[in-house]
């Protein structure tokens, strides 16, 4: 399958980005270096091209009912302008994908934002439950998405719009004119824990170039930097945010992943009964955060062992944290080893290195 480009591919190349294929797209991994970009977002602001993400519009009187059946969170609580984090449980106790649900019009129109690698899988999953002929539109190909993240993000962007970005509450959105482009949706969401917004707009009539240029014309003098997927990963891991395909997948239950808060048994949804049974019976394993005591970097797939050297789990994500200057990770362990300050061993090549279970977020 050929690798596709986002509308900002030329910009990334001009900026000398290190590019690599990700979820079927040529994506920037880093520009000035992961640590430098990471600190730019934590301390100031940075721009991520995340146009590879998937967007579906669901419309019609039965739209909410369909969303309620396929997602774990309670979308009936959403009012226009609100966003919700959720997941699609599968019928085997795992997760099809995690997603954001945007309420465009109460009970009638919603936007679902899904992971790039799961666009087709998610679309087909929702379709099989669409018995009431809800109008579904896959607008992923024509939607641009830029995430401007960091404590200075909204201050830098505010002069580009009359929409009030400075007072935009977490997990809400506004829609209007931005940088001279109409129908731009801006939400106080993101994957960094550093504050900021995500900007959705249609890829037509040179709008992508117009918005990108406007961002850097106003932002570059204030230290706004382009950021790649490398720093996006270290930023999200410091916050303990799950990455689909690493920390959650078709085999991990939302309860094991610490996503009980988006699993609402007050409504009926896919596999709800089995998940309720799992909750009642008690979990066998749990996703935990840990920091390395001994020197070494944990990586996805490394084994987690107890002090006797017995296998008790597996690392799902790991990195050297730029903010903490220490190695951190997440992984599933047997529940008996999940208590805070428990010491476990991470199998790093031929060595078992000590690590301590800690609370997430790490920072």
Number of domains, the chain = 3
Residue 154 shares a structural domain with residue 175 = yes
Distance CA(65)–CA(230), nearest Å, equals: 38
| 65/91 same-domain check | yes
Can you give the residue range of the structural domain that contains 309? 284-358
Rounded Cα distance, 78 and 255, in Å: 22
According to the model, what pLDDT value does residue 1 have?
A: 66
What are the pLDDT digits (tens) for 241-274? Answer: 999 999 999 999 999 999 999 999 999 999 999 9
149 and 92 in a common domain: no
In a domain, 12, yes or no: yes
| 103 and 75 within one domain | yes
* Distances in whole angstroms, Cα of residue 278 to Cα of each of 7, 92, 195: 44, 12, 34
Length of the chain: 363
Domain-located, residue 269: no
**Do 75 and 199 fall within a single domain?**
no
Using an 8 Å Cβ cutoff, are 290 and 358 in contact? yes
* CATH number of the domain where residue 183 is located: 3.30.1360.120
Asked if residue 37 and residue 155 are part of one domain, the reply reads yes
**Is 262 part of a structural domain of the chain?**
no
Q: Are residues 44 and 147 in the same domain?
A: yes
Q: Kindly state whether residues 170 and 295 are assigned to the same domain.
A: no
Last residue of a domain, one of 221, 238, 255: 238
Strand order, beta sheet including 25-30: 4-5, 25-30, 18-22
CATH number for position 116:
3.30.70.1400
Indicate whether 34 belongs to any domain.
Answer: yes
Q: What is the pLDDT of residue 333?
A: 98
- pTM comes to 0.97
Contact 60, 345 (CB under 8 A): no
Q: Is residue 78 part of a domain?
A: yes
H-state helical runs in the chain: 9-14, 34-43, 63-70, 119-127, 153-157, 207-219, 229-238, 272-281
Asked whether residue 249 is domain-assigned, the answer is no
Please give the pLDDT value at position 47.
98
**Which domain-ending residue is among 105, 137, 169?**
137
CATH label of the domain that carries residue 335? 2.40.30.110
According to the model, what pLDDT value does residue 103 have? 98
Low-confidence ranges of the chain (pLDDT < 70): 1
Return the pLDDT at 249: 98
In terms of domains, do 291 and 347 share one? yes
User: In this structure, is residue 343 part of a structural domain?
Assistant: yes
Query: Does some domain include residue 352?
Result: yes
Alpha carbon distance 154, 24 (integer Å)? 31
Q: What are phi and psi of 281, to 5 degrees?
A: -75, -25
Boundary-marking domain end, from 238, 269, 297: 238
Q: What are the beta bridge partners of residue 291?
A: 328, 356
> What pLDDT digit, counting tens, does each position of 285-320 carry?
999 999 999 999 999 999 999 999 999 999 999 999
Domain check: are 95 and 155 in the same one?
Answer: no
Answer yes or no: do 155 and 304 share one domain.
no
Residues 23 and 145 placed together within one structural domain of the fold:
yes
């Amino acid at each position: 399958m050929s690798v596709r480009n986002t509308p900002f591919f030329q910009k990334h190349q001009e900026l000398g980005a290190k590019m690599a294929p990700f979820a079927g797209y040529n994506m920037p991994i880093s520009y000035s270096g992961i640590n430098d970009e990471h600190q730019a977002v934590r301390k100031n602001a940075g721009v991520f091209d995340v146009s590879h993400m998937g967007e579906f519009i669901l419309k019609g009187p039965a739209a909410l009912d369909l969303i309620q059946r396929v997602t774990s969170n309670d979308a009936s609580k959403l009012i226009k302008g609100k966003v919700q984090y959720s997941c699609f449980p599968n019928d085997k106790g795992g997760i099809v994908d995690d997603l954001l649900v945007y309420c465009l019009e109460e009970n009638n129109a919603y936007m679902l934002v899904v992971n790039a690698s799961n666009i087709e899988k998610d679309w087909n999953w929702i379709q099989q439950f669409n018995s009431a002929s809800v109008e579904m539109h896959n607008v992923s190909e024509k939607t641009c998405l830029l995430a401007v993240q960091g404590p200075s993000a909204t201050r830098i962007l505010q002069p580009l719009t009359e929409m009030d970005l400075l007072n935009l509450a977490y997990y809400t959105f506004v829609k209007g004119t931005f940088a001279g482009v109409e129908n731009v949706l801006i939400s106080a969401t993101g994957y960094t824990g550093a504050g900021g917004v995500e900007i959705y707009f249609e890829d037509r009539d040179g709008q992508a170039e117009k918005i990108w240029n406007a961002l850097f014309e106003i932002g570059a003098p204030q230290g706004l930097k382009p950021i790649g997927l490398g720093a996006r990963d270290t930023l999200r891991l410091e916050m303990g945010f799950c990455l689909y395909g690493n920390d959650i997948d078709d085999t991990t239950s939302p309860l094991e992943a610490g996503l009980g808060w988006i699993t609402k048994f007050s409504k009926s949804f896919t596999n709800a009964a089995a998940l309720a049974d799992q909750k009642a019976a008690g979990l066998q394993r749990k996703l935990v955060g840990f920091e390395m005591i001994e020197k070494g970097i944990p990586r996805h797939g490394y084994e987690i062992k107890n002090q006797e050297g017995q296998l008790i789990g597996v690392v799902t994500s790991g990195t050297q944290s730029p903010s903490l200057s220490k190695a951190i990770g997440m992984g599933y362990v047997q529940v008996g080893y999940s208590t805070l300050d428990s010491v476990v061993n991470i199998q790093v090549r031929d060595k078992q290195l000590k690590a301590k279970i800690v609370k997430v977020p790490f920072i």
